[in-house]
Amino acid sequence: MRVVIPYTDRDPKSRLAPVLSEPERRAFARVMLGDVVAVVRDAGHEPELLVPAPIDFADADTAVGVDGVPTTVDDRALTPAVDAVLDRLGEGVAEVGIVMADLALATPAALRRLTAVGGEVGIAPGRGGGTNALVVREPSFSVDYHGASYRDHREAAATAGVSVGVVDSMRLATDIDEPADLAEVLLHGDGRARGWLVDAGVELDASGGRVGVRRG
């Protein structure tokens, strides 16, 4: 199965600014992307990037394994760009996966759980109401990534009479957006993203009673 990974280099991960500088955020985002590409491959699928503008990864040592991945360029917003990808389902393609690029805790086993789930649409919800990964097998299904997209995708599927399978997975639910999310990478990650944070001096901080991060 082709698994499409939306990604942008435009001001990546701006909410991590309290911990990482702009160049560091770009480098870290690329490391996470490389980890997700590796997970897709290790799960037995074909990764493809969906980007708003061409990106040259050839000289970026932080994006190991990304150079040479097939890429679709679409400068529209995420929702219409992904819907255009799903149009392939009307051209003889049986199923398409959509996996976000910041799932630093994802593993091949977690992704296999999603691709094996029943239903015409498989969903891995994110924390806070988002949709972190999809497997779509029904051409009539359209995405909507605005707001509480998990709820909206369930409602859209119900309205269209499309069956849904849901995967409850901590590893697929944890997208890395806020400084507190970095603690999850340090605690549970086993990819290059965790090593990058350690090398950058980001470490766990439990001094406030709740685990967070600080720069060492």
**pLDDT per residue as tens digits for the range 46-71:** 999 999 999 988 777 777 889 889 99
Contact predicate 162/180, CB 8 Å: no
**Cα–Cα distance between 176 and 16 in angstroms, integer?**
9
The token duo for 161 is: 């009479």
Domains in the chain, CATH or no CATH each = 2-175 (3.90.550.10)
**Cα–Cα distance between 215 and 182 in angstroms, integer?**
11
Q: Model's pTM, two decimal places? A: 0.95
From first to last of its 216 residues, the chain has per-residue pLDDT tens of 999 999 999 999 999 999 999 999 999 999 999 999 999 999 999 999 999 999 988 777 777 889 889 999 999 999 999 999 999 998 789 999 999 999 999 999 999 999 999 999 999 999 999 999 999 999 999 999 988 999 999 999 999 999 999 999 999 999 999 999 999 999 999 999 999 999 999 999 998 778 999 997
Q: Compute CA distances 212 → 42, 167, 177, 204, 215, whole Å.
A: 30, 27, 14, 6, 11
